[in-house]
Amino acid sequence: MMLTILAIDDSRTIREMLRETLRNAGFDVHVAVDGLDGLEKLHDIAPDVIITDINMPRLDGFGVIEAVRAGTSHAALPILVLTTESAPDLKERARKSGATGWIVKPFDDAKLVSAIKRIAAH
């Protein structure tokens, strides 16, 4: 079964790297430029996993996590935070908001793919 991934990041470079890495791993990849764009696309593509940055314009990653968790249709969707941030308090806040996992940029392709497969299996 091909997994569908929604990757939300305001960096074009990161979006392209994610698209390339995840497509090569056999995933169906959709990208969004910020949190609001991601939430708009969420209903159209019904992803198996969301990957989101934390620091973005319009709506940050915490806003994305909270909005997804507050909804009914995608409340249990695995959400992976992909960010340059590594502060323990931010990780804790993300976990409390409902993030499934946390990966620090720059990401290792193999680790990212294995993390996605691991959380999507639940």
- Distance, in Å, from the CA atom of 79 to the CA atom of 106, rounded to the nearest integer, reads 18
Is the pTM of the predicted complex or chain greater than 0.75?
Answer: yes
Residue 38 near residue 82, CB atoms below 8 Å: no
Q: Quick one: pLDDT at residue 122?
A: 61
Q: Kindly give the confidence (pLDDT) of every residue in the chain, 122 residues in length, as a single tens digit, with 9 standing for 90 and above.
A: 699 999 999 999 999 999 999 999 999 999 999 999 999 999 899 999 999 999 999 999 999 999 999 987 888 999 999 999 889 999 999 999 999 999 999 899 999 999 999 999 76
Amino acid in the structure at residue 40: E
Residue 64 near residue 19, CB atoms below 8 Å: no
Closest CA to 120 of 104, 105, 100, 91: 100
CATH topology of domain 1-57+65-73: Rossmann fold (3.40.50)
Q: Quick one: pLDDT at residue 62?
A: 96
Q: Quick one: pLDDT at residue 86?
A: 84
Task: Report phi then psi at 6, rounded to 5.
Answer: -110, 115
Q: Quick one: pLDDT at residue 1?
A: 67
Q: Show Cβ contacts of residue 22 under 8 Å, excluding neighbours closer than 6 positions.
A: 5, 7, 29, 112, 113, 116
What separation in angstroms does the CA of 15 have from each of 11, 29, 41, 50, 98?
6, 10, 15, 13, 23
- Give the residue extent of every domain in the chain: 1-57+65-73
